[in-house]
Structure 1
Amino acid sequence: MRLGIKTDDEFLIKLNEKNIQIQNNFLEKIKEIAKKHSVNVMLQDGAVKKQETFDVEKIHQIYSDISERLETWTLEGISSTNDEGIRRNFIKLNINPGDHIISLHLSIQYHVVLFYQPNYKVMKKQKELSDFMDKTKKQEYELTEKTDQVILEKLRAGGYKKFDAQNLFEILYKDDKIREKIMNETELQTDGDLQKINQHKENLLKALDDLLLETYQMEPILIDEARLVTGEEGCVCNIDIERIENDQKSGLIDSKKMSASTKEKISALIDQVLTAIT
């Protein structure tokens, strides 16, 4: 059972009241780290502007402090995800009071907006890349044509008469000898120029990537896990209590079936969380 769900169970009602305090305390901490400040950023065209962001690294300190205070709990890990500009930093802990398990999940989700650092090197590298692309465009096309011709000749010489894009991939994947011959001949015919062009292009692109500046956007509000999964900004603070029976977890909790000592342990552990997040 997830705390916060409406119930008529008096014991769980008391836990829900504590859960509200825990969530409010966590939200206040998130509001504090989500305070925005301005930084200088550079746009693609070289223009410099102010952009609001917040210090996302502070969440790691919050998680570390909480896990240290909950020293008897098992830390499942402090982790991060990265999906198309949406990041999530979360921590999970659990503890077993008798035949029950209590799980704590804290998470923040925010958007990442990329800019360039306000650095002259950005414009310099952009121009270098643009000039290089213009200079090598014709040469790259000619080398690609030559490479394609080498592939066709070697495949036909190897006994492959009919092939399309799909089985071409399969041939090169399965036939090590023909693949090696093609690579060697391509290198010989093009003097390795195509690889050199691609490598230099990759180096320039990497140099530009190294000059990127991440800024972060988050609305400091409490959201549920359904909204978290859909990519909304915000924070999650959930406590789940489950009963373990025959090595199986069950979220159906009836405090009337709990012993007094189990209730006392669970209540004390929820108090621990409240203290840790205060």
Structure 2
Amino acid sequence: MIETGDYDAALIPQVDGLFLLQAAVPNNFTVSFPNDPSTIPNPTAGLVPPFSTYGPSNDMYLKPALSARGGSIPSTFPVTLALPLQANVKSAATAKAARNIFQDAAIPVKQTTLNPSLVETVSHQGAGLIDVYNVIENTALLPSELLLNDTAYFKGERTLTLPNEGKKSVTYLPKPSAESRQLIMVAGPVPLVSKAANVEINPKKATVHPGSTASVRVTFKPPKGLDPKTFLVYSGYIKAIGSDHTFHLPRCGRQAQRR
């Protein structure tokens, strides 16, 4: 059975549907669809649903990498899952180029509709919600994700490459943004805590001339005062605010030793 509000519906095979149709034709039954639209509040609209996959993978890769709209989408052919939409928007680019650009252009979403609310953990939404318009307008910040690993193999010093494929100089102001921590030993939606990792960025301002790139050094230190027995995953974003567009770079690490 499929729950659809105040009534239940059931799926039947095509052969049974044809049988019912043939039985109805001799009786001249009619079916009407009155134009009486209504609205139903959706308290989780725009959020990542609890049934969506949590990451990261066991080898600390960022899974999922991206989020897309899915579930309760009004359409001539409703789409329940986000995967078909991701496949559609990525079809015009190569796999590697698509992933880099889509991650950089994605928009992080919050965990709840409350204000204020922590941003949903990177290990649940990846880089954030796909934004096709930003993809068309943006180039790719490299790398497109920062995998900090666990405490035993921590990779706390990284270099970002800011490109400029346009015709005008672009100035970027990179800064840490939207920090969230995840406790993964409970069923979703998992609780988030607000203790942040320490992030140092040098330089704090970079101007990139047309056809050139600029490098930015980022140093991370895991958040303090948290119990490693919870196998905590900490995450957030590096936000590079540019004079023509903005990048969001997801980062993810685990404050525990995997083995």
Q: TM-score range by the shorter chain?
A: under 0.3
Higher helix share: 1
For normalisation by structure 2, the TM-score amounts to: 0.25
For normalisation by structure 1, the TM-score amounts to: 0.24
Which structure has the higher relative contact order (CA within 8 Å, separation 6+)?
A: 1
